[in-house]
Structure 1
Amino acid sequence: MDTIQDHSHSPSPARRLRAAALRAPAFAALCALLALAPAHAAGPAEVAAADRAAWPRPIDSPAAFDRASRAEILAFAHELALSEPLDDAALAQRLRLKQVDRASVDKIRARWWRRLSDNYRLAARACAPREPFCAPAGDAAALRALATDFGAAPQAEFAAWRADAARFHRIYLDEQLRLAALFPRTSSEIDTYSAQEIDGSELPDRQFLLTFDDGPTAPGGNTDTLLRTLREHKLNATFFVLGERLQPRLKSEAAAKTYAGMCVASHGWEHQSHSRWPQWQDSVIRSSALAREHAGALYRPLFRPPYGQRRADSGEFFRAQGLRVALWTIDSQDWNAKVGAGEVQGRLLSLMLLWRHGTILFHDIHDKARVALPWLLRQTRGAGVRWVDCNTYPAP
């Protein structure tokens, strides 16, 4: 439950403030405070979920991964190019927002074009003669021109995929544009405030870091199932734990035993946005101390803010605590009631093909992560994907 869209599990900070205003005599003062504070917008009406069964070929080799990657890059870039002529009013209407931060949107779009261009070149390095999705594009401008014309499948066998990809990437683009349009007024994983914050975008090609938030569950729950899956595949991951969940779990088993072979970091004492929460610093300090004390050598000095929301001026605080803010680049949406486990699977594989590296966000408290992870590992077997050792990220 880590993106801006997910506030359904508890009243939003704005609603709590309104309720307090109705009960308190200082109604006018609280209303004035609320008006000055950044609002949490409702999430998007749709969540992007891809149908990987529409892709007609297996992804069982590096060449097959690259072919599918080129296709996803062109499909997303096509939607991105189509969105660029929209003025602020039209974009706000499309995203169901009152206003957009144009500077933030322009910055994120420029970054996307750079990454897409780099990724396309990497995916096209070994193009064989007559390979599909292999038209040359040496820079971002060339890719934009190529993607703008990418309206139909190059061959009949890809027609079903192209239709599904158009829907998927339009919805996914709007998810991301929404975050960009709200940043920095409402912070999220869409951008970092400084080089001190990390999100996995700097990882090498085909390398992905697995991360899990909001746990642990009670003994025998989803956390233990996911840990067993990771160990069976000789993989590890970073688990960003909540202090209020870890503390009762410690009564039955030491954290060093529960998470043996993994990495443990803090997600806060409770799952509250930092945007207007007076106790956010205490939450960071308490949860990090608990994880450090009980995870021992497994502990990593990282902090993942709930919903990805942190204050723009919080960098000095985290430095003083010896912590780095750790965000993500690929959201599985496993927390979202709008998507099922199969849809989470398709979404993840399509986004791995699109971005080609990064940090994947799961939640070990949800069943969908337990189902999606083994599927994802099977689908990428032989594709040249490397799952990053959490002990090596970030590099010392």
Structure 2
Amino acid sequence: MCALLALAPTLSPAHAAGPAEVASADRASWPRPIDSPAGFDRASRAEILAFAHQLLRSEALDDAALAQRLRLKQVDRASVDKIRARWWRRLGDNYRLASRACAAREPMCAPAADTAALRALAAGFDAAPEPAFAAWHADAARFHRIYLDEQLRLAALFPRTSSEIDTYSAQELDGSELPDRQFLLTFDDGPTAPGGNTDKLLSALREHKLDATFFVLGQSLQRQVDAGPAGRTAQRYAGMCLASHGWEHQSHSRWPQWQDSVTRSSALIAAQAGASYVPLFRPPYGQRRADSGEFFRQHGLRVALWNIDSQDWNAKMTPADIQGRLLSLMLLWRHGTILFHDIHDKARVALPALLRQTRGAGIAWTPCRDYPGRD
């Protein structure tokens, strides 16, 4: 669950209202198909330029104006500047990848050999390049302004409030390690009771020949181990990967018992999951201590964050909203770890629709056992 929720501690993970605005995209406004690698790249260039335009505009704000826009009392300018610089590097790399096979007179395909050139293209992307893209351009401007504010808010609070927005070291994972066009599916906060959302989702994943990493809460798993037959967990998650989300859903940056939460939950999962266990830990809300790296190294674990938040935990988001948001962010970032929650049922509806929409686009779903962190 996104770190934004941690600022509203009275809300439970299952009933989260989320921020005042959440970015959802109307993919029906995009006028071209995305069912080929060339179609994916064309749409990718468009999303990159739309986000870069909003990013460039935000840089004109001073600290006071940025804090007002993000509804914060203050911003950590060093953190914001660091993350903006990282975004520009990634946007430049992604734009070049998306431009490798541009056809003659292809829209949104001007070369950008470096950050300065991309910034120049972004500055001029204040109108649709052709009339056919007008509806998309208007919707994309709205989407990327709201999405940028989601991310800038996390950046402005980091490191005082840790989150998925940045890593503390190269030992931590966030999805940027994956190759171009490759995505990892992950699900947090389960398991639900037998026959509930977790089992329905597992069935849907197997139906589509997909696997995923499930970051489970030790407390929830223990209840089901106590109530069910021996070996049920390994059988239930066969073909998937299981990792720890802590013993209970508390911020591990402020909880005195965070180390016990990590070791206790990991030991339980390793004992119950068998071959499905992977030595990863995902902190609730993405929050962990800045000095926790040595602890995780000593225990053979790696922190696994994400870079694409489906917002399926958000009460404002429908499955259709989630589908549109995910596709726009997959086009923007071109690779990464997608965050879902199996305590909610939205992924089971949104994911098959997303698979249909991207069939033939040249993307790949990384097998969970191939993800870094597994020995």
1:153 and 2:128 matched:
yes
Partner SS state of residue 223, structure 2: helix
Distance in 2, matches of 1:156 and 1:227, equals 43
Can you list the C-alpha shifts for 1:145-179, whole angstroms capped at 9, x where unaligned? 10111011111111100000000000000000000
List gaps (5 residues or longer) in structure 1: 14-41
Aligned-residue offset at 1:294: 0.2
2:356 equivalent in structure 1: 378
- Counterpart amino acid of 1:162? H
Alignment of 1:86-101 (within 5 A): 86-101=61-76
Larger Rg: 1
Deviations 1:93-143 (A, max 9, x none): 111111111110010000000000000000010000121111111111100
The one-letter amino acid paired with 2:75 is V
TM-score for both structures, normalised by structure 2: 0.95
Is the CA contact (8 Å cut-off) linking 1:44 and 1:95 kept in structure 2? no
The 8 Å contact of residues 4 and 154 in structure 2, kept in 1 or not, is answered as: no
The 2-side partners of 1:299 and 1:178 are apart by 34
Please report how far the alpha carbon of residue 8 of structure 1 lies from its aligned counterpart in structure 2 after TM superposition.
8.2
CA–CA distance in 2 between the matches of 1:12 and 1:47? Answer: 17
Of structures 1 and 2, the one with the larger relative CO (CA 8 A, separation 6+) is 2
Question: Residue 346 and residue 259 in structure 1: after superposition, are their counterparts in 2 closer, same or farther (change >3 A)?
Answer: same
TM-score for both structures, normalised by structure 1: 0.90
In the alignment, is residue 286 of structure 1 matched against residue 267 of structure 2? no
1:335-393 deviation digits (Å, cap 9, x = unpaired) = 01122111111000000000000000000110111211111111111100000011011
Count of paired positions: 367
RMSD: 1.6
Cα separation, 2, equivalents of 1:108 and 1:223: 35
**Structure 1 residue 47 corresponds to structure 2 residue 22:** yes
Percentage identity across paired residues of the two chains: 80
User: What amino acid maps onto 1:126 in structure 2?
Assistant: A
Which position in structure 2 is the counterpart of 1:198? 173
Map of 2:287 onto structure 1 = 309
Deviation for aligned residue 1:275: 2.3
Which amino acid is the alignment partner of residue 304 of structure 1? Answer: R
Contact 1:4 1:43 in 2 (8 A): no
Distance 2:102 2:308 in 1: 27
Q: Read off the aligned partner of 1:297 and give its amino acid letter.
A: A
The CA deviation at 1:248 is 2.2
Q: Alignment partner of 1:5: what SS?
A: helix
Alignment of 1:346-365 (within 5 A): 346-365=324-343
SS of 1:6's partner is helix
Mapping of 1:16-165 within 5 angstroms?
44-165=19-140
Instruction: Work out the CA distance in 1 between the residues paired with 2:8 and 2:51.
Output: 31
Partner residue of 2:276 out of 298, 309, 318: 298
* Aligned-pair CA distance for 1:320: 1.8
Residue 299 (structure 1) shift: 0.3
Deviation at 1:12, TM superposition (A): 7.6
Q: Which amino acid aligns with 2:62?
A: D
Query: Which of 261, 264, 275 is matched with 2:239 structurally?
Result: 261
- Aligned in 2, Cα 1:9/1:99: closer, same or farther, shift over 3 Å? closer
For the structure 1 residues 209 and 316, does the alpha-carbon distance in structure 2 shift closer, same or farther, using more than 3 Å as the test?
same
Q: Which residue of 2 aligns with 1:33?
A: none
- How many angstroms apart in 2 are the aligned matches of 1:391 and 1:125? 30
Deviation at 1:48, TM superposition (A): 0.5
Shift of 1:9: 8.0
CA pair 9-271 structure 1, distance change in 2 beyond 3 A: farther
**Counterpart code for 2:30:** W
Do the aligned residues in 2 keep the contact of 1:6 with 1:336 (CA within 8 Å)? Answer: no
For 1:192, the aligned partner's letter is T
Change (3 A) 1:284 1:107: same
